Structure 1
Amino acid sequence: MKNLEMKKSRMKNHKIQSTLSSITPQYSKTLLLLRMSLRHNRGKPPNIYNPDEEERKSKYPIANYVSTQGLSKPLKTFTQTLSSYHIPSSVEEALSDPEWAQAMVCLEDERMLLLQLKSILKFNAAASNKLVSWSQSADCCSWGGVTWDVTGHVVSLDLSSEFISGGFNSSSSIFSLQYLQGLNFANNTFNYSQIPSGFGKLGHLIYLNLSSAGFSGQIPIEISRLAKLFTIDFSFYFPGVPTLKLEKPNLRMLVQNLTELRELYLNGVNVLAQGKEWCQALSSSVPNLQVLTLPSCYLSGPLDSSLQKLRSLSSILLDNNNFSALVPEFLANFFSLTQLQLSSCGLYGTFPEKIFQIPTLQVLDLSNKKLLQGSVPEFPQNGSLGTLVLSDTKFSGKVPNSIGNLKRLTRIDLAGCDFSGAIPNSMAGLTQLV
């Protein structure tokens, strides 16, 4: 059997050689080259035609040779008329044109959901600017606080400062707006009611603002299901009134699925957590966080080193907590930091001078810490610092003449410190001070 296969193979090779020998030398060489060449793009997908790219690369773009000459007269007239119309490049531009706005329809079911929402909300109609514009007779594109996309879906709802006092619960029609990406109920008075659990149904939410809206009690676990959230703002702090809290779920449970989160505002929310707990909760779940504001959140210290994993942080506000710890030097490693507020938070010891010299830093507030000491370093030319507040601390020594390099400085407060010496003459050149 094996001898038979070898015989067949020899016969096949002989036939190929005979065929090649019958081809003229010129074509034989060409065939050999073609047979020996390797495909440089083996395993790679073909290039996709891109008209914009082709027009940039091509010496003779195809647009120069498109003609309506071969079209019938009616079709030619139609194409020329169509070419004369301006097509908006954005929804905002389209809505500014009455003809386009009229052509953009709002889906009837979502329109009715909004009217149903208005009917159950308790609000001051005399003070309202947005809800009062929602009516059957009015063009839905003119409804205040509502943003529709080109397909007629509601994608954003801004009902901030509408004097709403109630009528918002988990059965609200708002939770049927499945395409909603932005929701703002800030600055209303919901009479210390709880945040409805229905938020878990709004899976496309990117922006959620319930700041100073009058909610209190436990923040619902359903918020943790909103995996696309970019911004959360639950800020609310008025002494003597009920506040929001994070117990069950705690902070770790709230952010465990929020990997896209960039901005977290929990001012005044009762988080009640120790340094290692809240620092690790954030560093392990929201790696791209840029804004962290946790003033008056009943946090304790020390600040855990895991916090420095949040390399994108640009704003850190931790005022009015009780850390009772040294100021960590790793705060100088946030190279994108623009705002650092640590007033009245119990930090003590010597403040690291490196933090002053973060090139992007615009706001630094270390006030009301009698156990915090340090000195003000030399400032480089064209520093970014615009606000410097060191009042009621133990900072001492001389204020350097290089403070005059802070041309953007609008506020400086050194009251109650232990500085000595004359006020630098260079401060006369700080024309932005108010």
Structure 2
Amino acid sequence: MDCVKLVLFCMLYPFLCQLAFSSSLPHLCSKDQPHALLQFKQMFTINPNASDYCRRSRTLSWNKSTDCCSWNGVQCDEMMRQVIDLDLYCSGLQGKFHTNSNLFQLSNLKQLDLSYTDFFGSLISPKFGELSNLTHLNLSRSSFTGIIPTEISHLSKLQVLCIWTVVAYGLRLGPYNFKLLLNNLTQLRQLDLDSVNISPTIPLNFSSYLTTLWLTRTQLRGILPKRVFHLSNLEDHSLPHNSLTGPIPSNISGLQNLQYLYLTSNYLNGTIRSWIFSLPSLTYLNMRNNTFSGKIQEFKSKKLFYVILKQNQLEGPIPKSLLDQQYLQTLILS
């Protein structure tokens, strides 16, 4: 028995020594991290009007006299003290985003949010593709322009990708690049693109993990394919403000978790399929500004909050199930 204890002690001794040593060190972020963050900060000014609609800029608290893991918007790994989360949402940053930004030295980043900043029409750097540990990337409303680089498709761990822009900036992702992105980002759970020119037709190789598919003003055209509804984990399915045509596919099943369905402002026609009225979790339904015809059927969901079906050619009485909804706040049918 003593021999067994001795063997166990010898096995555990190096680990115990390392633990004791690391616990005696100050829990500061790795020395190269604050330098990279401060250099990144110095490339931008703070929009003095940002406080009218955003929070106080998080970067104002950044200074070299404090641990960067304690800075606003910065989160570090507890063991290695590497920056893993950088949240600069709506922080008032404005200026050119350089393609070789010091930001890309933060190779352990898992979550990066640069949304609602103003990068003055900068290009999206290919170096984003070098942040290979990213699981969340949000570049929405950041005034980027040009082509979304192919290197984004190298982020194989990505679970959330959000890129919104305005038409004036003209962000685009070519058909080949979009297919490549979908082929490589097999872990995607949320894909949210707004006013990004991606492709004339809907690709069919979406991640089976998707819970949110939002492709707004992405210049999609052609028949709405049946396979785009064969994503059983979907909770939010939104393809508004495109040029999709034809009827909604029939005989769709398995969308037990679907809560949001937006097909607004397309060129869809035919009847609104019965499977839509049978969705048990449906909360938001917006299909206005198409050419749907026929009657509105009874809804199975008891959770409806928002229903807009106007600017179609629907007829018949209002279903009793709509009138009996407890949580309904918005109903527009005319």
Regarding TM over 0.5, the answer is yes
SS of the residue corresponding to residue 204 of structure 2 reads helix
Aligned to 2:125: 196
Aligned to 2:178: 251
2-side partners of 1:221 and 1:214: how far apart?
19
Q: In the alignment, is residue 357 of structure 1 matched against residue 278 of structure 2?
A: yes
Which structure would you say has the larger Rg?
1
Aligned match of 2:295 in 360, 375, 380? 375
The structural deviation recorded for 1:343 is 1.0
2-side partners of 1:339 and 1:331: how far apart?
16
SS of the residue corresponding to residue 323 of structure 1 reads strand
Q: In the alignment, is residue 409 of structure 1 matched against residue 324 of structure 2?
A: no
Unpaired segments ≥5 residues, structure 1: 1-99, 416-434
The structural deviation recorded for 1:333 is 4.2
Aligned to 1:11: none
Q: Is the Cα–Cα contact under 8 Å of residues 165 and 194 in structure 2 kept in the other structure?
A: yes
TM-score by length of 1: 0.66
1-side partners of 2:248 and 2:163: how far apart?
27
SS of the residue corresponding to residue 245 of structure 1 reads coil
Aligned to 1:295: 216
The structural deviation recorded for 1:249 is 4.7
Higher relative contact order (CA closer than 8 Å, sequence separation 6+): 2
Q: Is the Cα–Cα contact under 8 Å of residues 279 and 303 in structure 1 kept in the other structure?
A: no
Letter in 1 for 2:212: V
The structural deviation recorded for 1:256 is 1.7
TM-score by length of 2: 0.85
Q: Deviations over 1:15-53 (max 9, x none)?
A: xxxxxxxxxxxxxxxxxxxxxxxxxxxxxxxxxxxxxxx
The structural deviation recorded for 1:120 is 2.2
Q: Deviations over 1:140-159 (max 9, x none)?
A: 34311111121211010011
Question: Which one has the bigger helix percentage?
Answer: 1
SS of the residue corresponding to residue 218 of structure 1 reads coil
The structural deviation recorded for 1:122 is 3.8
Q: Is the Cα–Cα contact under 8 Å of residues 146 and 156 in structure 1 kept in the other structure?
A: yes
Aligned match of 1:110 in 14, 30, 33? 33
Q: Deviations over 1:191-213 (max 9, x none)?
A: 11210111111000000000010
Once the two structures are superposed, the pairs formed by residues 304-383 of structure 1 within 5 Å of their partners are 304-331=225-252, 333-369=254-290, 371-380=291-300, 383=302
The structural deviation recorded for 1:113 is 1.4
Q: Is the Cα–Cα contact under 8 Å of residues 353 and 376 in structure 1 kept in the other structure?
A: no
Unpaired segments ≥5 residues, structure 2: 1-22, 51-55
1-side partners of 2:226 and 2:144: how far apart?
33
Q: In the alignment, is residue 228 of structure 1 matched against residue 152 of structure 2?
A: no
| Same amino acid, percent of matched pairs | 32
Root-mean-square deviation (CA, aligned residues, Å) is: 2.1
Question: Which one has the bigger strand percentage?
Answer: 2
Q: Is the Cα–Cα contact under 8 Å of residues 251 and 281 in structure 1 kept in the other structure?
A: no
Q: Is the Cα–Cα contact under 8 Å of residues 204 and 228 in structure 1 kept in the other structure?
A: yes
1-side partners of 2:243 and 2:299: how far apart?
30
Aligned residues: 305
Aligned to 2:203: 279
SS of the residue corresponding to residue 329 of structure 1 reads coil
